Amino acid sequence: MFVDSTYDLNLGLLDDGLNWLGIEKFKGQKASAIIQNESYKLFEKNNLKMRDLKGIITVNGPGFYTGLRLSEGLSDVFSFFGCKQYSFYSYEIPKWCGYESGLWFTKAYRGEYFIHQWGPEKVSQKLVAVKEIDTHIEDVKHFIHSEASLDQHSSSILTDPIHTSDLILKFSFKIFTEVLKTEKKEPFYFRAPEDEFKVNP
């Protein structure tokens, strides 16, 4: 099973060859209100039971605490029944698909953007203030996870970004073969939970 709740909710099922049996995208709906029912319906639609599931793959960031905890929590529930857990970060996808260099971008916490850039000789990642972003966007291939990764300002400065959520659909075997090689990764939050829920005195 594949679960991505970094922004919009995406639920999918893969066969033993890592090809899609089905995938559903849900936009504009509160993911926490629908994830259980829609997961059940996806299994039912493909004539599968929970006991048929061998593993669950989640996108573990980068993202916000509330979004990532949703897929993380579902993954933990399935693990109680012996299901193996796997995860990856969105910015890993382009390199697995053969892009040797590029810049992966997303809006982060209020007033910041997150950038992951890679090339033959170096890899870097940073949080950049909105007012400074124009000086950090280099003339390389641009990637975002989905349209939800952008805001009005950033959508005007990126050049024809490739969506990593689309790459997942097209290259499931190539991507998930890499994912299954590693252990489950810790969620990559833009802000630590203690900062996310800090209460002002």
Residue 26 sits in a domain whose CATH number is 3.30.420.40
Residue 133 sits in a domain whose CATH number is 3.30.420
- Verify that 124 and 48 share a domain, yes or no: no
Q: pLDDT, tens digit, for every residue of 87-103? A: 999 999 999 999 999 99
CA–CA dist 105, 160 (Å, integer): 12
Answer whether residue 106 is part of any domain. Answer: yes
CA–CA dist 19, 173 (Å, integer): 6
Answer whether residue 198 is part of any domain. Answer: no
Q: What is the pTM of this model?
A: 0.89
- Verify that 18 and 37 share a domain, yes or no: yes
CA–CA dist 44, 73 (Å, integer): 21
Answer whether residue 201 is part of any domain. Answer: no
Under the banding of pLDDT at 50, 70 and 90, the label for residue 188 is: very high
Please give the residue that has the higher pLDDT: either 38 or 29.
Answer: 38
**What is the β-pairing status of strands 102-107 and 112-118?**
antiparallel
Answer whether residue 61 is part of any domain. Answer: yes
Please give the C-alpha separations between residue 175 and each of 70, 79, 116, 131, 190, in angstroms, as whole numbers.
22, 22, 18, 34, 24
Q: Does pLDDT of 5 surpass 70?
A: yes
CA dihedral 52, 71, 160, 151 (to 10 degrees): 160
Total tally of structural domains belonging to the chain: 2
**What is the β-pairing status of strands 20-26 and 55-59?**
unpaired
Tell me the percentage of the chain whose pLDDT exceeds 70: 95
Q: What residues have CB less than 8 Å from 76, skipping those under 6 apart? A: 85
- Verify that 86 and 13 share a domain, yes or no: yes
Q: Does pLDDT of 191 surpass 90?
A: no
Tell me if 165 sits within 8 A of 6, measured CB to CB.
no
Under the banding of pLDDT at 50, 70 and 90, the label for residue 165 is: very high
Q: What average pLDDT is seen over the chain?
A: 90
Q: Quick one: average pLDDT of 69-74? A: 91
CA–CA dist 23, 21 (Å, integer): 7
- 45-53: long-range contacts, CB 8 A cutoff, minimum separation 24: 46/13, 46/21, 46/22, 48/13, 50/78, 50/81, 51/81, 53/1, 53/78, 53/83
Answer whether residue 199 is part of any domain. Answer: no
- Verify that 7 and 67 share a domain, yes or no: yes
Please give the residue that has the higher pLDDT: either 29 or 12.
Answer: 12
Q: Name the residue range of residue 143's domain.
A: 92-164
For residue 115, the model assigns a pLDDT of 94
Q: pLDDT, tens digit, for every residue of 116-161? A: 999 998 999 999 998 888 778 888 899 999 988 888 888 888 889 9
Report the candidate in 129, 110, 126 with the shortest Cα–Cα distance to residue 64: 110
Tell me if 117 sits within 8 A of 99, measured CB to CB.
no
